[in-house]
Structure 1
Amino acid sequence: MTKVLLAEDDPAISDPLARALRREGYEVDVCTDGEAALEQALLQPDLLVLDLGLPKIDGLEVCRRLRQEGSTVPVLVLTARADEVDTVVGLDAGADDYVTKPFRLAELLARTRALLRRGVVEPPAPEALVRIDNEGRRVFLRGQEVQLTGKEFELLKVLVANDGKVVSREKLMRDVWDSAWYGSTKTLDMHISVLRRKLGDDAAHPSYITTIRGVGFRFDAPEE
């Protein structure tokens, strides 16, 4: 598993950031001072996310010592000091990229992925809990095959292809039943009801298909 070392002494930043990185599929270790950061970074994680304002040894010195020791670990610097001089000094010390605080989580994750790609290290692909085999026309839920009819398969395929987005009743009828369809959608409601049961619509496994009243349906991919 791709390992990210997060060196940040402020739990208000490190806790949510560590959770976000783990959701991306990375193994995350957190340290809260420069001495620990240097020691763990020398063990060659796949990426070091490094706050400049660490106690004991600051982030710039951690970065310099890493490079002096010959470490090639990619370093993404977090800094609250946005002026150009500190940015240049940080990169000259051996950092590969930087993000200024406060930062947008999406931007930081994008830069993380970019640095890992540069080092030819990709995050592991999370296992899909609903998997559709289009060629075999088979559906698997948490590794177990779910027996679906032809229409149920086509219906689920359209919903999964639009994961997280509302698909209108009209689109579902056109795509699954007839491109020239018009009229009642009662048959759609019946198929959705059966599909929900087959996907485990009960207290232990709530439905992954949500009805958006007056519009259509939304599929939300299950999570562990």
Structure 2
Amino acid sequence: MSAEEVNTFEPVMQPDFCPVTQRVIVVSPLPRGLHELVRDLSDGCFDVMVFHHLEQGIRNAQSADLLILDLTSYREHEEEVALQTLLMQETGGVPVLLLIKESMLGHMDERLRQQELVVWPARPQEVLYHAQRIIRSSNKKAPASLLLSGTSPAIFKDLWIDRKKMSVYRNGARIELTKTEYDLLLKLLLSDGAVLTREDLLSDIWDTSFLGGSNVVDVHIKSLRRKLGDRASNPTYIATVRGVGYRMAD
């Protein structure tokens, strides 16, 4: 959240297991002061890497889903150097969360004031909540290149797709799909938002070119939507293109 937002958050529900994990890099000159934070992130299904130096963390940012920078451990004369170094760096699109002291707000560069900020120390699990929120908002849609590479898991909105296990999860809970439903969902995801006709889906999923008014595609899409909790009238995942076919919703 930005410095102007009210610092409120909802309780974080800890999953009983971790079907998938994401990676967080934490950079702190004194990481022992973040022991509880690292523990909460680990318990929340994050793989955590800790670096002492800002340059090391930024250099490894591309291997992470979120970069958390602890600016509270710098001495007063070091704060400005650290902030200016941060402004000059490029994280390659990896989102950044800054842990700051309240006293820093008055002299932070305006560009940094617009970043995701948490005043530290924070309430229990508050950083975990913001980490989950930031990653969700920055990964509304996984690029087709990620899916095509066979990387597992892939993410679309709040769906997690583990291609190795042919499994789909939402909020840590597995959604039980048939093989055909899974293949349909994956085919739509791989289309990268393009419309797939019923004929395309019949050919690719059922290996048939039957065009005689078969409603087999519509029946399976309806079942898939029901299991995803989706609605044709207001789709979150699968949108209907009337008279043509289907695509992933915006």
- Give the structure-2-normalised TM-score: 0.41
Flag the structure with larger Rg. Answer: 1
